[in-house]
Structure 1
């Protein structure tokens, strides 16, 4: 590991394959961290001997700082001297960086997972981070930057997540390939990290191979079936009759309920409630509250539990 640059805003470091000329890859991965996040994709690229530079943003300024430009200029110089082509990679705030800085880096391709696209308060409907984004001195006009993007950018997002869908559909005019991953929520990266085909897709990019877009679209439209949380998120939207068909799987998950996080418990409770299995629903609904790690329990967890409890009491 070698530090490329560090300051109050940014930390950038490389893995050992970037400068040792022992890799079989002509591409350099440049990854951007998510909000409050550590280096993104370190284990994936390093375990496969892929040259990579990892950029972590120490402040949640969505990369709008002169430090970002300085780091990117250093990386461009490294790539030019070493003969690398660049592929950028990031999720959420890191995906935002992929959207807006891949062309500046003269990248060959980019992979952005659940990215934000437009955050300037007067131009976006996404107000989740207003306290941070309202104080940013924006380096560029986001809409213009998007429209002029010529780098082929694969955007993986949950088309049922309203805000992630908004950001994906705001990518107008540029060279973006939208890949829908329904029911995976904003945590699409979690689902993709467990998936062998996504791993193979990434690897193929660094081998210079072309992706089969039609096959990718079909496969990732059903990726939720391979991830427990995404599967539960899909089940809770179904009719009672459809849930009955998945009852064997739901009971298997219920038998391992101690391994569920609060969101999974909440989703399973909703599915059991719709199918009128109120005892099981009540149990995992309570789990969703007791497993919540922060002090202030969200109102939706409490309201859902009260609804299930009333329904259960009527049966006694």
Structure 2
């Protein structure tokens, strides 16, 4: 007879989203007993789920988090071990594990391989699904290990352990919350399974992880992509909660029709709108905007361009609003025939219970009526200009109307709305390198009264970044990968297993919008035959994006870097900052940074007056302050101009003993281009990336600057600025007897006349 098993999980942090409700309900519907532990009331737990207090397992208020991460993953890693010890026979499942088939395993050892890549002689074992005998040696050893939050993990690389031991010897042991992501999770489980020779008990990849982490977006795409990967071994299926970010950014927080996860929601009779995903990062999810409506009883809602179905549904569900679908393009023009989105939108609402007569299609100005709440969202800022909408606003907006609208920085949108009411910025994000504000507009006057007013807006239309995805995938080849978000992308090109160079775009490249764009240093690295991970930014982001941090967390915990004998992080300016800041993802890796910033946090560097566009970004966390976190690197080589005061100020903050500071006087912030002009950038960069560049060799090479016209000019100016005209004459004569320098020749002529 098949053994009947109970599963248990934990939730901390308020109401469940539709994804957690789906996973919990899947166990109930499959007839598998499931217990949800929590430390506070949860208002929307599916019927049939058993509720128990988390204090039965761990009576604590210390809910551990990794430093800089808004996630209870660290505490959950600890909790599951004690749950297995105190609830014999229970199987732990994460709240993003879906029950494809009941977990009716006979053995108390229930865990699975996450991926086939082999590290240190064994596959990686994930702990999203975990069952262990309550009296097992592996469970006892892991509980003993996690009882000391300052313990030094034996399973880390030797150089990392040496660093941790040095900190402990100095009286400042490193707390687990500051250690490598996953240190109490899959990394630890894989180590102890290997140590105790339990790997043979692991279920195959298709048991719990048929869709691997790199493939996780398939879950929110066409269902056929996932069904092809599910086998007869599949039981508890990991849906990867990190998909929430993608759903929020590209799908308005709800499953797309035809996707695998939409299929699961329909199977279990759930609606995403009943438990919306909450805001993540700097974006407010459309459906949640209903909470910002400060009207007592709105009766009408208008969606301009059909871009916010979740908000329309929430307006109807909460107040019974009629829904007006305004079929218009970004330039204020009505199409000759209905747009393709209109019928799909109507079908969506009617399927959700909205009466057909409550859904009104507006296809001309004469059909417009004033509405209480209006939406102009999710992509309009890329397609049109608010000034083109003024004729529409004159008929649609009435006194006290509310409108949600996305406004590009520099588009003039705030100027268009200012005569009509007030704007409150709800959130901000970047799209293709341009800041976009999500705004709640409150009308204070009727546009009819402003009909004769001249509304002007200095609109600018930034060229959209070329779609180079196909080219990037071709560059990556069958063994590489491309990962993309709205503002960043990762391109991995595997070549030699000896060296991997991780590069980051600088400011100039970040604003390049060409199909033939390549990551920073691509051609140079290709010539050396090295493998490359190019991290690209669509704008001046400084890589302060949780999506980017998640990618490095994944690479750090997936043993990606362990494939290589040497790993080097490399970048200039903004890219130099990132090279230093993300080095902790691969402790012991070398760093080569040209003119880097240490941080743009104004509380730390109030003297930094450049890069205002990034001042309000979050520079905290384990990839935050580059000067501090880069201590985890091996050797940090920094090239900089000591006479550039802001650059020198940042470099002065790098005080750890692993830093080698190489001075390039009078070559400026963009010293890379000066070194290139002198023909010495390649040997310097090659030596630095190879790890063979010594300080003596560098200063021997850099003597070539004496023949650089820029260096000569800057040195001449510096001498004159210090009030040394005679020394300037000597310098000028030395330069002009060896060649021509137009600037110095003119200045020498002026000196002779003086």
Q: Distance in 2 between matches of 1:29 and 1:217?
A: 24
Query: Contact 1:120–1:133 at 8 Å: present in 2 too?
Result: no
Q: Which residue of 2 aligns with 1:210?
A: 692
1:83-162 equivalences under 5 Å are 83-124=564-605, 125-130=607-612, 132-140=613-621, 142=625, 145-146=628-629, 148-162=631-645
Question: What's the counterpart of residue 106 of structure 2?
Answer: none
CA deviations on 1:75-119 (whole Å, 9 max, x unpaired) are: 444734634531010000000011211122325211000111131
Structure 1 residues 98 and 44, CA, compared in 2 at 3 Å: closer, same or farther?
A: same
Is 1:193 the counterpart of 2:676? The answer is yes
Tell me if 1:27 matches 2:499: yes
Q: Say if 1:275 and 1:178 are closer, same or farther in 2 by CA, change over 3 A.
A: same
Cα-to-partner distance string for 1:112-168 (whole Å, 9 max, x where unaligned): 0011113111221111122x2332122325277347444311000011111111111
The answer (yes or no) to whether the contact 1:181–1:223 under 8 Å persists in 2 is no
Q: Alpha carbons of 1:143 and 1:82: their partners in 2 closer, same or farther (altered >3 Å)? A: closer
SS of the residue corresponding to residue 119 of structure 1 reads coil
Corresponding residue of 2:491: 13
Unaligned ranges ≥5, structure 2 = 1-474, 511-518, 720-727
Q: Is the 8 A contact 2:489 2:537 kept in 1?
A: yes
Cα distance in 2 between the residues matched to 1:120 and 1:52: 30
Larger relative contact order (Cα-Cα within 8 Å, sequence gap ≥ 6): 1
Determine which of 521, 526, 545 is the counterpart of 1:41: 521
Q: How many Å separate the matches in 1 of 2:701 and 2:688? A: 17
Q: 2:654 aligns with which of 161, 166, 171?
A: 171
Query: Which one of the candidate residues 242, 262, 267 is aligned to 2:731?
Result: 242
Q: Give the 3 Å change call, closer, same or farther, for CA 26–205 of structure 1 in structure 2.
A: farther
Q: Deviations over 1:14-35 (max 9, x none)?
A: 33xx1xx5x3x61100001112
Deviations 1:264-291 (A, max 9, x none): xxxx1xx345422589xxxxxxxxxxxx
**TM-aligned CA distance change 1:57 to 1:28, over 3 Å:** same
Output the CA distance in 1 between the equivalents of 2:689 and 2:573: 22
| TM-score normalised over the length of structure 1 | 0.70
Q: Which structure features the higher share of helix residues? A: 1
Runs of 4+ in 1 over 6 A off after TM superposition: none
Structure 1 runs not aligned, ≥5 long: 255-267, 280-310
1:232 paired to 2:713: yes
* Superposition CA RMSD, Å: 2.9
**Pairwise CA distance, 1:243:** 0.8
CA contact (8 A) 2:580 2:627 kept: no
Q: 1:79 aligns with which of 546, 560, 565?
A: 560
Cα distance between partner residues in 2 of 1:42 and 1:230: 28
Larger radius of gyration: 2
CA distance in 2, matches of 1:92, 1:129: 11
The answer as to whether partners of 2:637 and 2:661 remain within 8 angstroms in 1 is: yes
Tell me if structure 1 keeps the 8 A contact 2:542–2:578. yes
Q: Do the aligned partners of residues 205 and 167 (structure 1) sit closer, same or farther apart at CA in structure 2, a change above 3 Å counting?
A: closer
Q: How many residues align?
A: 256
**Displacement of 1:226:** 4.7
Provide the rounded CA distance (Å) in 1 between the counterparts of 2:680 and 2:596. 21
